[in-house]
Amino acid sequence: MRYIHTSPWWLRLAFSRHCIWNMPTNEKEIYLTFDDGPHPQITPWVLNLLNQYQAKATFFCIGKNVDSFPEVYRRIIDEGHRVGNHTQHHPNSKKTDESVWLQDVKEASKRIDSDLFRPPYGQISRFQEKVLREAKPGFRTIMWSVLSGDFDQNLKPEDCVKIVTKHSKPGGIIVFHDSEKAWPRLEKCLPEVLHILSKKGYRFKVLK
């Protein structure tokens, strides 16, 4: 599995200048994000843990999961967190016809009321991003500054903790996953990350 945990300048250059990789602030503020939910057990667990730290986060939801677990989706919103569009079926843009991919995003928009969008696998071309903004005015494509790696079965939870705490900076956008694939690492690393970054004086906010 090849990927990098941070988003250096040369990686950002490959994407549209409209993609957002971090939030402009000098304050000790971190933006936790969770992809691929809602999940009937994992997402409520995440919400309970966030409540313990008075932390807010942004959940990039898959439309089909919103259909399956509407009460969990509603809880995310009711507890003051934000939601974002993560497509209806999580298609890979490199392996999907562009018109089909765009329709999948539009389909998710019928269920997920948000101007925030994160492409599955972080894959979106400059052209796709332009077409998406033209089709959905106001959409903002949210990427990340730190990828926790919680989806990587070759990593241990303590590896994920080290990655996140080492690279977190003011305005950082951190990616976790409220999914079954990530759960073995998320269960142990998220409490540690919240504890360590809280002790460092960071506050956890929703993307605006």
Q: What is the DSSP code string of 75-137?
A: HHHHTT-EEEE--SS---TTSS-HHHHHHHHHHHHTT---SEE--GGG---HHHHHHHHHHST
Query: Looking at residue 1, what is its pLDDT?
Result: 62
Query: Looking at residue 52, what is its pLDDT?
Result: 97
Mind telling me the catalytic residues? 35, 177
Query: Looking at residue 70, what is its pLDDT?
Result: 98
Q: How many CB atoms lie within 10 A of CB 28?
A: 14
Query: Looking at residue 93, what is its pLDDT?
Result: 86
Q: Which domains does the chain have, with CATH numbers?
A: 9-204 (3.20.20.370)
At which residue do the structure tokens 């003051």 appear?
A: 80
Residue pair 153/9 in contact by the 8 Å Cβ criterion: no
Query: Looking at residue 3, what is its pLDDT?
Result: 85
Helix (H, G, I), strand (E, B) or coil at 74: helix
At which residue do the structure tokens 């996953």 appear?
A: 177
pLDDT tens per residue across all 208 residues of the chain: 678 999 999 999 999 999 999 999 999 999 999 999 999 999 999 999 999 999 999 999 999 999 999 999 999 999 999 999 999 999 988 889 989 999 999 999 999 999 999 999 999 999 999 999 998 889 999 999 999 999 999 999 999 999 999 999 999 999 999 999 999 999 999 999 999 999 999 999 999 8
Query: Looking at residue 2, what is its pLDDT?
Result: 74
Query: Looking at residue 45, what is its pLDDT?
Result: 98
167 burial (CB, 10 Å; 0-12 / 13-18 / 19+) is middle
Query: Looking at residue 24, what is its pLDDT?
Result: 95
Distance of CA 159 to the CA centre of its chain: 19
C-alpha span between 86 and 197 (Å, rounded): 27
Spatial CB neighbours of 92, under 8 Å, sequence gap ≥ 6:
120, 121, 123
